[in-house]
Amino acid sequence: MSNGYEGGLEEATKEAIRDAYQRLREGAAFVGRSGQRRMIAEVARTLSGAALLDVPDGCAGGRRILAVEGPTGTGKSVAYLLGAIPVARNGGKRLVVTTATISLQQQLVDRDLPDLAERSGLDFTWHLVKGRRRYVCQRNLADLTGSHGGRQESLELEIPAGGLWPFKPSKADRKAVASMEEALADGSWWGDLDRWSGALSPGVRDAVTESSRGCLGRACPFFRECAFFIARRRVDEADVVVANHDLVLSDLNMGGGVVLPDPAETFYIVDEAHHLPDLALEQAAAESPVQGARRWLEEIPRAAGRASNLLAGVGAGVEWLGDVERSAKELVDGLRAIESALELTLPQRPTARTGEGDPVWRLKPNEVAEGLREQAEALAEAGMRLTGGLARLREALRQKVQEGRLTADAAGRPIRETGFTEGQAERLARTWSLMGRVDQPDQPPVARWITRRSGDGDLLVSAAPTSASGFLETALWSKASGVVLTSATLTALGRFDRFSRRTGLAEGDGTRFLTLPSPFDYARQASLVVPVAPDLDPRDVQNHTAAVVRELRRRVAPEEGTLVLFASRRQMESVAAALAGGGLPELLVQGERARHEIVEIHCKRIEGGEGSIIFGLASFAEGIDLPGTLCRHVVIAKLPFTVPDSPLEAAYAEWLAARGRNPFMEVAVPDAGVRLLQACGRLIRSEGDSGRVTVLDQRLVTKPYGKQLMAGLPPFRVVVERQTGTG
């Protein structure tokens, strides 16, 4: 990434942005906002390098990174596209726009980008990119249908992707794959599984897709018509690439430039950026079973033998395959030894249980004994050797296909077997590498835990960093040409502190942070109502549930559009049961119908002049748009605190406490503030909306941290109702 100032925002680029914005303003439906104009300018200044002139002396400087919180109604999509596209084209860069939700991806591809191209005068192309598992593998499809002479035989490894029916198919399964092949042949479908209208069982979906390791690439007879590679070529040609966070993080985890453009030549726009730290942690985590790993490791000699025979048959040297078998045996022996050690050291009582009731033991940093660490390091080293050997074997087979010395039919199965095993070996190596890592006192630790699976009694070993900052620094911040992070909820309690800690970004490293004003007049448009009564304290669950029932009967208008948000499924279902048949409209309860169906029914009821009430959990507090009369009242049953009961959260909380820091105030309160802001954000979606938010948790006004939570909310008109009776 360049650290120098390269002339800033050129006049031609400024003129292109001004001209495009003026053309948009001429449209009847366009509403210009000051926050949007500010965001356009700041995005352009950051990515062009012009903002580097503002970096104070003594800062690390040089980073073209902007974190901007744009409240609902700002028009963020148009702002970052208009600010970034001319700069990217002028500088010869690619633009990758990544989102957390499919709905925003579709909005960008189906509405925002076409509309901007049509009305702004900017000349650019765009394409939506997805992972391999979203496209059919035509070779696997041909294997399943037998259309190129493939023999039906069982696989000896449990390979989830492809391979001559790796499970016993039903009539519906056979009909589905035959229909897919027919649609490809007549051109009515090109291989995008998201565009396939028929039903597919999970087994069929796995069987008709392929991983990167199992793919034959250019050696495949279906390469030219492959849906994934057709989409990949479109990515190479597009000025703007739309992706999701998982795909972007996966690409970065592989070094960048594997599926998406090279980070050094790319500007990234990260929309819904408040999801990025959690998803980055998932990308950095690893897990591997003990007994399950031994089973696939014990299959390697046979699989390697089949591959060896193929290679030897075409005169290829295979003497190095002995290293693969030796590494596999070393891992089998090492896993057997470490399983015995774990069985002896795990306490009688687990520290927690999974949602399925499986016992979990969390290993604290000082509980990872030196002997266990040495064993973990040895397993990691052997796992890396095995991964490298399997990759070499897979590439040797693929090379012989490309040379025409092996047929794709002959090499296809060994390549898929080897690719599957290579992926397993890499996960095993990463898991034990994290297990054996020495935690540094001044850095957040690695969380380590063991789960005994109730189904087979196997020990599942899991490990994950408790902070995403290291991964993001190595994979993204230090490599990208420029990054813009944006969301309606980047701040917590009105500050960027929590987001900064989680991402590793800070003003001192040259990152710029910006909060835009809201276009809404919250004090005029909405009120925040907080009733205060002894039983409106959720710490007494039974009394609080009864109080929520009482307050909903009092406060919900049957003729309105209402969204009631719960922190607990059990409480939601209890309240719904108590209100059934009590004079309110039939409740639309999350879990009883699909989310999209709930929203459709709700909209039809309101548009038909009826009232409607949605009961939802956390997923209904974000990403759901109910403007105008669709939502006049948001009820929040309980402040959205979460218990740090996952091994990862517990490890981080303990690390903070050991340093005299307060996990509740540093983590729990800011995170609750973000979720509360998201929930309140369901009410006002445009300048014409109005209504009220009711919080049925008196702690918002009775606890000291309540003031901090309130300070992070929009400036609603606040009404505190102190009740003298609760009957």
Under 8 Å between Cβ of 429 and 380: yes
Residue with tokens 């989830």: 160
- 156 — pLDDT class (breaks 50, 70, 90): very low
Tell me the average pLDDT across 292-305: 91
Tell me the average pLDDT across 433-459: 92
Q: Which of 586, 659, 599 is nearest to 625 (CA)?
A: 599
Tell me the average pLDDT across 163-178: 80
Q: Looking at residue 164, what DSSP letter applies?
A: S
Q: Is the pLDDT of residue 60 over 60?
A: no
pLDDT tens-digit map of 447-470: 999 999 988 899 999 999 999 999
Which CATH number is associated with domain 522-722?
A: 3.40.50.300
% of the chain beyond a pLDDT of 90: 65
Q: Is the pLDDT of residue 126 over 60?
A: yes
pLDDT tens-digit map of 337-349: 999 988 888 888 8
Q: Is the pLDDT of residue 130 over 90?
A: no
> How far is residue 28 CA from its own chain's centroid?
36
Tell me the average pLDDT across 305-319: 83
The β-bridge partners of 255 are none
Q: Which of 496, 491, 516, 522 is nearest to 676 (CA)?
A: 491
Greater model confidence, 58 or 474: 474
Q: Is the pLDDT of residue 416 over 90?
A: no
Query: How high is the pLDDT of residue 726?
Result: 56
Query: How high is the pLDDT of residue 402?
Result: 85
Beta strand pairing call for 482-487 and 352-353: unpaired
% of the chain beyond a pLDDT of 70: 93
Locate 437 and state its tokens. Answer: 């890592």
Query: How high is the pLDDT of residue 724?
Result: 66
Tell me the average pLDDT across 365-387: 87
Q: Which of 460, 398, 393 is nearest to 422 (CA)?
A: 393
DSSP 695-719: E--THHHHSHHHHHHHHTS---EEE
Q: What angle do CA 458, 464, 469 make, to 5 degrees?
A: 170
Q: Looking at residue 549, what DSSP letter applies?
A: H
CB-hemisphere CA count at 13 Å for 640?
24
Q: Looking at residue 568, what DSSP letter applies?
A: -
Amino acid letter, 715: P
pLDDT tens-digit map of 671-727: 999 999 999 999 999 999 999 999 999 999 999 999 999 999 999 999 999 876 555
Q: CA 451 to CA 352: how far, in whole Å? A: 9
Under 8 Å between Cβ of 65 and 59: no
Tell me the average pLDDT across 588-597: 94
Q: What is the CA radius of gyration of the chain?
A: 28
Residue 418, H or E segment: helix 408-436
Q: CA 707 to CA 700: how far, in whole Å? A: 7
Greater model confidence, 562 or 225: 562
pLDDT tens-digit map of 264-293: 999 999 999 999 999 999 999 999 999 999
Under 8 Å between Cβ of 348 and 413: no
Global pTM reads 0.88
Q: Which CATH architecture has domain 11-125+238-280+469-515?
A: 3-Layer(aba) Sandwich (3.40)
Cα 254 to Cα 231, 247, 352, 479, distances in angstroms: 20, 11, 33, 13
Q: CA 585 to CA 59: how far, in whole Å? A: 59
Residue with tokens 């209208």: 197
Q: What angle do CA 104, 105, 111 make, to 5 degrees?
A: 80
Q: Which of 140-154, 307-321, 392-406, 470-484 has the lowest mean pLDDT?
A: 140-154
Q: Which of 487, 685, 522 is nearest to 76 (CA)?
A: 487
Q: CA 717 to CA 225: how far, in whole Å? A: 60
Residue 564, H or E segment: strand 561-565
Under 8 Å between Cβ of 546 and 537: no
Query: How high is the pLDDT of residue 159?
Result: 35
Query: How high is the pLDDT of residue 32?
Result: 75
DSSP 47-87: HHTGGGGGPPTTS-----EEEEE--TTS-HHHHHHHHHHHH
Query: How high is the pLDDT of residue 162?
Result: 37
Q: Is the pLDDT of residue 2 over 50?
A: no
Q: Delimit the CATH 3.40.50.300 region(s) of the chain.
A: 11-125+238-280+469-515, 522-722
Q: Which of 146-150, 548-552, 610-614, 625-629 has the lowest mean pLDDT?
A: 146-150
Query: How high is the pLDDT of residue 58?
Result: 44
